[in-house]
Amino acid sequence: MPQRRRTRYGRYTGGPDPLAPPVDVTEALEAIAEEVMAGYSPERALREFLRHGSRGREGYDDLARRIAEKRREKLQKHNLGGTLQEVKKLLDDAVLAERGQLARDVTMDDTDRAFREMQLDNLPASTAAAVNELSDYDWQSTDAREKFEQIRDLLGREVLDQRFAGMKQALENATDEDRAAVKQMLQDLNELLDKHRRGEDTEQDFADFMDKHGRNFPENPRNVDELIDAMAKRSAAAQRMLNSMTEEQRRELMELSAQAFGSPELMEQLGELEGNLRSMRPDLDWSGSEDFSGEEGLGLGDGTGAVQDIAELDELAEQLSQSYDGAHSSDIDLEALGRQLGEEAAVSAETLAELERAMRDSGLLRHNVDGSLGLSPQAMRRLGKTLLADAAKQLSARSGARDAQLAGASGEQTGASRPWEFGDTQPWDVTRTVTNALQRSAVEGETPSGRVRIEVQDVEVVETEARTQSAVALLVDTSYSMASEGRWVPMKRTALALHHLISTRFRGDELALIGFGRHALNMDIDELTALPPVREQGTNLHHGLLLAEKFFARHPSMDPTLLIVTDGEPTAHLMPHGEAWFDWPTHPETLRQTLIQLDKVTRRGTRTTFFRLGHDPGLEHFLNQLADRVGGRVTAPELDDLGAAVVGEYLRRRDPGFGDIDW
């Protein structure tokens, strides 16, 4: 019976997971739009979102803080005296063992014993000098001799570990044959680098070298340049580690290094290697240093690794800052991030990068003519839909209704249809519904059977509108107090919700968006959304009413509705030559001009509503007088209710059957 083959499954590593769900850009779009409405550019808003992250997901700033904390911990935990401490302990143990042997050996000549004890008593205080002085000492204790030989072995392994990560462990208990192999590897490496510098090396030279010595290079370089890059980074880190030591520590280590494996040739080859690497990669940091101040000593190899880690942390910090020209999420080294902070950190960064790609590729952001980034019409529609849904929920909660259905009810059909939503009572558009079902069935490969299977997603309903059409002028205060008092973004969210309602559900109506600060200005929804706050005083309601009058004049057959959102009394009016005249508090002439224009607008039968923001008693009294003068009304919603208040007032004015809502 043939043996059944076992199949094992592991994590997918062939690029982006093809089965992973697409990232949800809704939260990103809302956050970016919020920043845009506050006055930031979409590009900066996108950068801010990536920096701060999303709900339950770290942003680049969070990751950068963790990077900085790990860097600080490394410096505060370690010092670079580990090798010197190990050597000193081995030396002390060797001297102690030798003293014990001298004291126990009764056969030794007393003169010889006294001379040896004097040598041990007068050893230099410097560890390096003491080791050098004892290099030719004839040890009487076997244990002492082994301890002293361990010093040379340790130094050799540490010196190699500086340049080749893992050598300290790999060469533990090494034989003479192992050491000879290392010397041969260094010789072959220097020859390869010399040939490469002269431009005489070939791919076969590199392949032969790796076949022979590849086990010493865990980085698995694919060519000689990658080999040089890996080795030069390690060598530069080793130099920065030495630069981080005290002058005394450096001097001690330089003297001790001559004892490595008892082989001066080793140091000569390493010196030649460092010279080759410096000349080939002069752009690396060979002169920097770090301030290690901890209690835990690191040897030469581990210290070099710590300095390399710090360099990698610094590179990640710069990548995460995204503060340089041309910065992009793809610049972040996810492998290095996972190595330093763990897999979850890499997943967070990867998700943010996917969000950025999705935002740029989904059509929600677009490049303007000047090269800047802007919100696309698709983004504006999605945002408007979300804001309108929020307003509908608030309307529903205020009125106690099940759900506020913001569609033209019990009116004439507009000729348009839309997908059915829960709670809709409009009649089905049978033609569109059946067509959708047939198209879906064909895509799903269903065999025609003479019957049509209709699913919920196929259903479209007929849109209706009230029998009358409205011309709606929304005047929004754009004076600086709106921004300084936190009313700037709620004002824009309100305009977006109303714009989406009229453009999608009441297409027969006309909407004018008019901002009034020192001057008034007709704006489309894109302009209003991106409008930054201007530090300029002036509330020119007079100019805003002039523009509203012109708008109503262009639509004489429509019912005029005037909605005014403001947080201050008028302090400016338009002069005949087009300049704005400003004075504070309200000047009688400004008040007179504003009232004249308000009366002119309302003589058209305009229904006027003022939305008062803030709790200024003077403004409350003033707006109440204006409303009484023109038969209008004043509402004072909280900022969170402003969108629902404006949308609800529009619907109430348009269809009295919608019902009064007490705000």
Q: Tell me the one-letter amino acid at 489.
A: V
DSSP labels for 67-107?
A: HHHHHHHHHHHEES-HHHHHHHHHHHHHHHHHHHHHHH-TT
Q: Is position 71 within any domain?
A: yes
Same structural domain, 474 and 616: yes
Nearest to 322 by CA among 54, 24, 22, 52: 52
What pLDDT is recorded for position 165?
82
Write down the pLDDT at residue 405. Answer: 47
Which residue numbers in the chain have pLDDT < 70? 1-24, 39-41, 261-262, 363, 367-373, 376, 397-415, 422-425, 445, 447-450, 464-467, 655-663
- d(CA 398, CA 381) in angstroms, rounded, equals 25
Q: Which of 596, 607, 604 is nearest to 573 (CA)?
A: 596
pLDDT at 57: 76
What pLDDT is stored for residue 4 in this prediction? 53
**338 with 362, same domain?**
yes
Cα–Cα–Cα angle for 320, 321, 325, rounded to 5 degrees:
110
For residue 199, give every residue at least 6 positions away whose Cβ sits within 8 Å of its Cβ, in sequence order, or none. Answer: none
On whether residue 398 sits in a domain, the answer given is: no
What is the structure's pLDDT at 447? Answer: 63
Residues 433 and 507 in one domain: no
Question: Whose structure tokens read 């069935």?
Answer: 441
Task: Assess whether 417 and 519 both reside in one domain.
Answer: no
Q: How many CB atoms lie within 10 A of CB 154?
A: 22
Separation in Å, CA 108 to CA 95, 118, 148: 18, 15, 22
In a domain, 388, yes or no: no
Burial group, residue 44, by CB count within 10 angstroms (0-12, 13-18, 19+): middle
Note the pLDDT of residue 410.
45
Q: Is residue 406 part of a domain?
A: no
* Within-domain flag for 238: yes
Q: Is the peptide bond before 490 cis (omega within 30 degrees of 0)?
A: no
Would you state the pLDDT for residue 597? 95
Contact 374, 530 (CB under 8 A): yes
Tell whether 136 and 280 lie within a shared domain.
Answer: yes
The reply to whether 405 falls in a domain is no
Task: Check whether residue 121 and residue 249 sit in a common domain.
Answer: yes
Compute the distance between CA of residue 347 and CA of residue 327 in angstroms, rounded to an integer: 19
Q: Are 523 and 495 in contact (CB under 8 A)?
A: no
Domain boundary among 397, 430, 465: 465
Residues 540 and 653 occupy one common structural domain: yes
Both 317 and 453 in one domain: the answer is no
pLDDT score of 408: 47
Q: Which domain holds residue 600?
A: 469-658
Same domain, residue pair 101 and 245 = yes
Note whether residue 487 is domain-resident: yes
Residue 207's closest CA among 186, 221, 194, 193?
221
Please tell me the total number of residues recorded for the chain in this structure. 663
Tokens of 369: 């003519």
- Count of domains for the chain: 4
Whether 171 and 242 share a structural domain: yes
What's the pLDDT score for residue 463? 73
Flag whether 620 is in a domain.
Answer: yes
- Residues 522, 479, single domain; the answer is yes
Same domain, 502 and 577: yes
Q: What CATH number is given to the structural domain containing 508?
A: 3.40.50.410
